[in-house]
Amino acid sequence: MALTLEEAAEIAGLSIEDFIDWTQTMDGPDYYISLDTEEVHGIYTDSDGGAISVKGFSEIFEEKGVTISMVDDTNYCDIEVDSFIKMLKAINKTTKHLHAIT
């Protein structure tokens, strides 16, 4: 299921207007990672209007996996491999730490 624009903006700590601007900067890939008491959540943009949600937990793989969803109003997101792997590693490390202390 896709994440709403409002939910994605909240995870990134941005207003909806600022979130949309952030996803359209044309400055290259970027991401935000948010942590609450139960899960790690990342929002990745290609800065050309594409955005995806990466939740640090998977129904099938639990803390060893992630769940990837589109952000509403985006039909695509190009992935720059090095920056995406960097984000995945940060999410994985934080998720493992979070589950080790709960």
In the chain, domain spans: 5-101
Over residues 26-38, the pLDDT tens digits come to 999 999 999 987 7
Cβ burial of 13 (10 Å; 0-12, 13-18, 19+) is exposed
Q: What is the pLDDT of residue 3?
A: 92
Nearest to 9 by CA among 85, 98, 96, 71: 71
Between these two residues, 57 and 88, which has the higher pLDDT value? 88
Of the chain, the percentage scoring pLDDT greater than 70 comes to 97
The region of weakest confidence among 15-24, 44-53, 55-64 is: 55-64
Q: Which residue is associated with the tokens 């639990």? A: 62
**CA–CA separation, 62 and 81 (whole Å):** 23
What local confidence, expressed as pLDDT, does residue 101 receive? 59
Mean pLDDT of all residues in 63-88? 94
User: Distance (Å, rounded) from C-alpha 37 to C-alpha 21?
Assistant: 29
